[in-house]
Structure 1
């Protein structure tokens, strides 16, 4: 036995040594290739990267992109393709915000998919700092720290320690990709804009003529200059002096900023109609994209069968039991129940072989939208309820007249009623009547059944409905008293969240143990998985493991609520004595999410002689602060959705004190785009404040920006509002 163990140990040593040697060889190969790429990129003779001067008019900008260049090449054989993408950028650092932005780089040094046809990606980072006196300092990328170092995923983080305000940072990322089998290149999008001004933006592509280059120029973007030589198609573009745009604040770049989308396709792709070598297809016809998307829907719909629908027997049983218990159920009732049944079976139900996951992480589980809708459609057809598929593009994606790829479309399901139900899914808590905010108000095409009626492949067109501010509301009701020492605010709070605003709160605050039980009962499932496990000799220990996991999740729950309070008021609660969920908002019939908290805050009351100053404005939490560069806006406003925030605050006035300054708090800023209203009154020793902020629409023309600014400024100013508690 000792000999056998010694032999095994020796084999392990040899194996480990071989693995270490292979890794060392791979690292050496990467380092050698990285040095080659850095020498090549730093040696580019592009004039824009030799410029060291920024116009004086831009000195107040946080940062200035002095040069940005994207270089792309694609080549390869039938079963192996190679793709290289280099993005190089040179930025002048004008303030601390820009300094912080560029003080660290996170990148994926290596990745390899484990699909049937592998894709391998290797990235090389190069960084150098150009000082005001012209001195150039190269940053050693070998100093990057590994954040993950798996065999198929190597993540790195590189700190730029010597970067200072006034410096220029010149950096690039090179991605080399190898695709095997039938994998295709991912499309590119070149957005000719940034939240910083850009002095020079250039693009160069070299694509082997065995590929067809499709591209679309949108929103006034210029066209490429084309050259063909030696079996390669070259495209070039140069744009100068691009002004800064508020890219990070309520914009849809793909609809508002000049851009070019590019896609590379095999020349023998039948959908292209037989193009010749070196073909460049500019602004392809949108009806062909819609036609391809329609065929995909119809093909997927007709291809769905008993074999491809998961847990079909369980779904049929749940629906049969529901119809038996609700004999007067309408088709719409059955549609919504089937929706929740599939959601329950896919995300809520627990099987013995499942990984134990009961903490907040489970709340972020998602479903594949298209597969979910195909399953639901199949089940509804089996229940003699016909539905139609809908093709829609996001307001953060291309307009219907600018689509380029079938993947530009998202799918939804539509019932055939006078007041149709539009159906989609996002995650654990999406209701059956849910339309994602990015699709609200968008023009859509309806794919009717398995037979196409019109040449463009669509039977009908429809505009998706939009929600109102009242449907997307957060309502805070607070009862507040001061402690005996006049230092703490004791707050009893009930929060009601509606519509699109509730999803984040549900994900962060709900406990699986509780919402599983509620939805199990909604589905008419009589026995919980805990009871089933407890009654099973094989799985009895699992019941104990889940009980322990539930106990830990519940123990952590208080800290989660503490985090919610701190995130809302920007103050760490002194004590949290009560917290919980009163309404979960799991289904459309009871859509509101409601939770309660009781806690104390310090730091909002300050002594002033015999009197006290109350920071009343802090009770509505943090407010949006506009950067100076965001105040003058010339582009339309794409907000997530119409919404409102309402606060009903009762403050018990301490005995022997009166309130002064209430008249200064009251205001009514009401515009066509938004409003901010504050009302207050003192009655019977109680101060009541009613505050409401409303964004009336999801979209505003640029001309309305001033109206929005008035409300944003009013809400921000209210944060500094104070009341005097004066000794009587």
Structure 2
């Protein structure tokens, strides 16, 4: 349950790409190093990794981690940071589910980040199988099958032959990372202690060179469990635990807020100190004085600010008011959309390549950039602003910060007597909306105008708002017909409308080309598409390349739509006959994101003599079905956001048949955590179902889990309901 995740079905091994022309030499060097690592780990005399017996109380567990050891060493020399990590596990496999988990490992063996990234990584792995009779077999890593073999990207997989229930699998991963201090700091460490299987022995040892410095926090545990010392030139952090219980609360679970967690960030060359976290004063100074100092590095800032007045004039003309009569809130919202367009949708600088495919939709701007640009633009219209910083919910609280990089930065504008929260996280972001990860969190805010005394006096801590279940809604209207020539095939016409935080769930169903056109039309920009994408003049050949990329993305959408329907219903449609995004929902004052799908589906209707049985519950897509183990809850429930899902379903009864069993579809479960309600009525040969499921809060205490189970079970039970089409 830690940031450097190497276990279970997939093990990611990042390592350096080998240069063409020197492959054989570097491969030999790699093999020599792999042999040294193998000897170091297998020859280590750690009694925890010699154990083979399992306590009787764990006899019925799927697997038991006999020993897990994580070590990390960090040092600095010649403007290079070097990180070496090793994860070593010894696991007893006790049923077929665990056997499947450990029967194959997927490896990304080789990779480099290039000179601009300033890092290279090299990884090694070893696997050993111990049979119940004590027979031991080392897996030959040369037997790994290449999945991808490029200069800077080599992926492999290896199957563990003859692995059986009752065996012990012992494996390690060693990863070395060298990074230029000039380009980047080493990745922080977030290590949470707890796995899906119980652990008999756990140990962690971290050694950091004093020249690097470190900021740390140890959370959710007795502080005495973490031992700190100084050994020579190293700061040392160590933890040793025995008999660590398994973690079953994998759904809606923030491990860093629940499990014993060591958080560690390197101070780099700025400070050689060891500090217990990032204190409030350091954050205040950064927020008040340092963020705003980076404006000068934004060469595009004057261009962006220059383009807004004309846009504002056009908008005022469109709505039939004088610019001076426009409300400051309307100006602030328009400024938000304009900056979103200028920083995400269009290009602001020539590069070697410009992404216009599906990847482009996931772009997000630099927070410092948009915060400063937005603040500077609003200041021109005398709209007061504050800079704000908050910690994402999955990270923890303001008291858990170990690095300034833990924080999200954004603007709070005051166009009137109501604050306007302005966080720009992506192409679908709205003004006066926070991302789910920040809702309900505490934040620091400060005004960066005025004297130092005034700035310091403005610094305060606030609690950010939380959206409601009604604001985050998915509404589906579904019309179901039975194929005339085959009553066992359904024709489903489905319209989906989503608003609030729910719209981010459907980003994969949108095309960047269409989003760009919609954004340009909403703002009525005067530039051409090719001008926005810098595909003119000496770069005009890009226009044809972009046309080809857009055409490919549109063609690929057929597979995306098919996959989306399959994922939601748990069954692949026999055919998708229609798909259209009717509304992109890119501006909150316009219509919500709206999609229209038509498809045919087999497997929902089964013949029963002269009659037919319809799995009518499946029409609301798959619902959560809790396993017996999931019904016990230890830790609090942390969901993305409060939400409402509703379905209005019309089932057209084929002529010559009548429907029986609809009375079993009426359900109503409601409590303080949420609800599930369904009702039916017959009307002119149609069965009309109205269904509504609500999660009232983003966070619930573990003690409220039984209430959540009540309405989730009702939805799961509805999912299993059938009705009979009886021949008249």
For normalisation by structure 2, the TM-score amounts to 0.88
Q: Look up the match of 2:12.
A: none
Match of 1:486, SS state, is: strand
In 2, Cα distance between the equivalents of 1:181 and 1:548? 40
Distance 1:432 1:117, change over 3 A: closer
Q: Look up the match of 2:400.
A: 402
Per-residue deviation, residues 633-662 of structure 1 (Å, max 9, x unmatched): 121111111112111111111222221111
After TM superposition, the structure 1 stretch with the greater mean CA deviation from structure 2, 584-593 or 611-620, is: 584-593
Give how far 1:21 is off: 6.2
Give how far 1:116 is off: 6.0
Distance 1:335 1:157, change over 3 A: farther
Q: Which runs of 4+ in 1 moved over 6 A?
A: 18-21, 350-354, 454-457, 531-541
Distance 1:197 1:547, change over 3 A: same
Q: Look up the match of 2:587.
A: 587
Q: Look up the match of 2:335.
A: 338
Q: Is the Cα–Cα contact under 8 Å of residues 474 and 646 in structure 2 kept in the other structure?
A: yes
Where in structure 2 are the equivalents of 1:505-516 lying within 5 Å? 505=506, 507-516=507-516
Where in structure 2 are the equivalents of 1:147-546 lying within 5 Å? 147-182=147-182, 184-221=185-222, 222-265=224-267, 269-270=270-271, 281=275, 283-284=276-277, 286-291=279-284, 294-295=285-286, 298-305=289-296, 308-310=298-300, 312-313=302-303, 315-326=305-316, 327=323, 328-349=325-346, 355=353, 358-416=356-414, 417-450=416-449, 459-484=459-484, 485-505=486-506, 507-526=507-526, 528-529=528-529, 546=546
In 2, Cα distance between the equivalents of 1:246 and 1:145? 33
Q: Is the Cα–Cα contact under 8 Å of residues 659 and 723 in structure 2 kept in the other structure?
A: yes
Match of 1:487, SS state, is: strand
Distance 1:646 1:226, change over 3 A: closer
Per-residue deviation, residues 152-185 of structure 1 (Å, max 9, x unmatched): 4444433333333322221111122334455544
Distance 1:663 1:20, change over 3 A: closer
Match of 1:194, SS state, is: coil
Where in structure 2 are the equivalents of 1:592-603 lying within 5 Å? 592-603=592-603
In 1, Cα distance between the equivalents of 2:211 and 2:534? 63
Match of 1:437, SS state, is: coil
Match of 1:134, SS state, is: coil
After TM superposition, the structure 1 stretch with the greater mean CA deviation from structure 2, 57-66 or 168-177, is: 57-66
Q: Is the Cα–Cα contact under 8 Å of residues 304 and 339 in structure 2 kept in the other structure?
A: no
Per-residue deviation, residues 243-273 of structure 1 (Å, max 9, x unmatched): 122353111111111112234446x745x7x
Q: Is the Cα–Cα contact under 8 Å of residues 580 and 595 in structure 2 kept in the other structure?
A: yes
In 1, Cα distance between the equivalents of 2:227 and 2:511? 57
Give how far 1:320 is off: 2.7
Q: Look up the match of 1:7.
A: none
Per-residue deviation, residues 380-431 of structure 1 (Å, max 9, x unmatched): 2233323111110111012122222222211121012422111112222222
Distance 1:539 1:107, change over 3 A: closer
In 1, Cα distance between the equivalents of 2:684 and 2:143? 67
In 2, Cα distance between the equivalents of 1:367 and 1:478? 37
Provide the aligned length of Structure 1 versus Structure 2: 698
Give how far 1:36 is off: 0.7
In 2, Cα distance between the equivalents of 1:210 and 1:641? 42
Where in structure 2 are the equivalents of 1:633-644 lying within 5 Å? 633-644=633-644
In 2, Cα distance between the equivalents of 1:290 and 1:541? 47
Q: Is the Cα–Cα contact under 8 Å of residues 347 and 534 in structure 2 kept in the other structure?
A: no
In 2, Cα distance between the equivalents of 1:350 and 1:252? 37
Q: Is the Cα–Cα contact under 8 Å of residues 290 and 456 in structure 1 kept in the other structure?
A: no
Larger Rg: 1
In 2, Cα distance between the equivalents of 1:21 and 1:559? 39
In 2, Cα distance between the equivalents of 1:427 and 1:89? 39
Give how far 1:457 is off: 7.9
Give how far 1:125 is off: 0.9
Distance 1:131 1:625, change over 3 A: farther
Give how far 1:613 is off: 0.7
Match of 2:336, SS state, is: helix
RMSD value over aligned CA atoms?
3.0
After TM superposition, the structure 1 stretch with the greater mean CA deviation from structure 2, 188-197 or 201-210, is: 201-210
Per-residue deviation, residues 608-628 of structure 1 (Å, max 9, x unmatched): 112111110110111223233
In 1, Cα distance between the equivalents of 2:562 and 2:508? 12
Match of 2:365, SS state, is: coil
Give how far 1:539 is off: 7.3
After TM superposition, the structure 1 stretch with the greater mean CA deviation from structure 2, 92-101 or 693-702, is: 92-101
Q: Is the Cα–Cα contact under 8 Å of residues 452 and 459 in structure 1 kept in the other structure?
A: no
In 2, Cα distance between the equivalents of 1:337 and 1:140? 61
Distance 1:263 1:130, change over 3 A: same
Give how far 1:373 is off: 1.9
Q: Is the Cα–Cα contact under 8 Å of residues 145 and 158 in structure 1 kept in the other structure?
A: yes
